[in-house]
């Protein structure tokens, strides 16, 4: 009888052990699934942050905020080497600690991590200790993981996550952290192109207008405030003839006068740039194509009615030492009348602006020079 009871109890214990193991596996599977869902949400949030009409710095700060919120990280700091120095791109740590945080690459404990492209985990063992890199603080962080960041095998900086609890990352899932790190790298890789565009934007010497690159940075922020806009590109099709028949100086003045006319006739809410050579672009933000047709017809008419010539002062500047011959003088005093070709297209927020501009440019470059209608493509 006793043997039977023992056997039953053993079977019950074995059953409970098996049940507990099964439950543990299910819980672990649920945790993994939940973590994957969290990762997917984070990736989606990252993509939304990249697509926002904000500066590179704002995007990186938004991404850091997402990390802190989604993964419940106490402190998160992203440091990037800009080619000359290390700078804090994003951090939720008080700025008084930034000098120490952007100098971690100088410490021996992290140099090996950078050289081997592997994360470095540091922690204290009791409350009286402090992390080696902390210079003026004791209670803020008690454990940290340092991640060197690489884009295409090129070291670009690091990400460090910190906790106010000792040994807080002892059992952390490093696989998840690697996914986060790769997401950070992907974002930095994406926004670096925007940063490049923002840094090479320049103003045209003659017109004072921004160059084409402005459209893909600050200009796009303005345009993308609306769901649909109209992109207009126009070209002074007889500029080469003006340069050859009269002078390049008169050709430059034609470009200047045309740009001044457009600036005086369009709203400051619209984006107007010198696209390339005799081509210009007007982005009518939030306006559909059928609403700009009449305005552009009137603008084109005003442009082609202009009679542009060099002033006596401008002619004298061309000949500062020698008096021009009557023939040259007469030639320089003649006026030029620009001929303009227009083409427009709709732009929808989130689509490729560069593709639309390429299509408009190809149309202007290959259309009949005598074409005078405003074409919608």
pLDDT, tens digit (0-9, with 9 covering 90-100), for 289-309: 889 888 999 999 999 998 888
Q: Higher pLDDT residue, 92 or 49?
A: 92
Run of H or E including 187: helix 174-200
Instruction: Give the pLDDT confidence of 232-283 residue by residue, as tens digits.
Output: 999 999 888 888 887 888 888 899 999 999 999 998 889 999 998 899 999 9
What average pLDDT score do residues 206-214 get?
83
End-to-end Cα, the chain, rounded Å? 94
What residues form DSSP beta bridges with 340? 236
Instruction: Give the pLDDT confidence of 344-356 residue by residue, as tens digits.
Output: 999 988 777 888 9
Average pLDDT across the chain, whole number: 79
Are 267 and 282 in contact by the 8 Å Cβ rule? The answer is no
Report the C-alpha gap between 234 and 100 in whole angstroms: 53
What residues form DSSP beta bridges with 163? 143
Report the C-alpha gap between 303 and 311 in whole angstroms: 19
What residues form DSSP beta bridges with 232? 282, 344
What per-residue confidence (pLDDT) applies to 195?
62
The residue whose two tokens read 């639309």 is 356
């Amino acid at each position: 009888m006793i043997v039977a009871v023992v056997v039953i109890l053993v079977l019950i214990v074995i059953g409970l052990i098996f049940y507990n193991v099964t439950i543990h596996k299910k819980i672990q599977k649920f945790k993994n699934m939940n973590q994957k869902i969290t990762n997917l949400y984070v990736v989606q949030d990252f993509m939304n942050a990249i697509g926002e009409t904000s500066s590179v710095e704002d995007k990186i700060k938004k991404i850091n905020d997402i990390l802190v919120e989604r993964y419940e990280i106490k402190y998160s700091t992203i440091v990037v080497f800009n080619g000359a120095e290390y700078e804090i791109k994003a951090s939720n740590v008080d700025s008084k600690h930034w000098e120490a945080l952007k100098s971690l690459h100088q410490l021996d404990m992290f140099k090996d991590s950078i050289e081997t492209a592997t994360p470095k985990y540091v922690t204290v063992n009791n409350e009286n200790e402090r992390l080696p890199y902390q210079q003026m603080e004791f209670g803020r962080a008690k454990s940290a993981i340092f991640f060197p960041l690489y884009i295409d095998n090129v070291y670009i900086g690091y990400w460090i996550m910190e906790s106010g609890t000792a040994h807080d990352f002892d059992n952390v899932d490093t696989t998840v952290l690697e996914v986060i790190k790769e997401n950070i790298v992907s974002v930095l890789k994406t926004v670096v192109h925007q940063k490049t565009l923002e840094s090479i934007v320049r103003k045209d010497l003659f017109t004072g207008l921004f160059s084409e690159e402005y459209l893909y940075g600050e200009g796009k922020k303005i345009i993308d405030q609306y769901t649909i806009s109209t992109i207009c590109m126009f070209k002074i099709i007889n500029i080469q003839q003006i340069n050859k028949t009269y002078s390049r100086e008169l050709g430059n003045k034609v470009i200047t006068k045309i740009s001044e006319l457009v600036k005086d006739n369009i709203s400051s809410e619209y984006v107007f740039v010198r696209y390339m050579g005799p081509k210009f672009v007007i982005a009518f933000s939030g306006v559909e194509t059928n609403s700009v047709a009449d305005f552009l017809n009137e603008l084109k008419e005003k442009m082609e009615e202009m009679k542009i010539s060099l002033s006596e002062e401008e002619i004298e500047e061309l000949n500062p030492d020698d008096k021009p011959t009557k023939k040259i003088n007469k030639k320089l005093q003649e006026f030029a009348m620009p001929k303009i070709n227009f083409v427009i297209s709709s732009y929808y927020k989130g689509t490729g602006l560069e593709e639309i501009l390429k299509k408009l440019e190809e149309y202007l470059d290959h259309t009949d020079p005598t074409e005078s209608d405003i074409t919608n493509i």
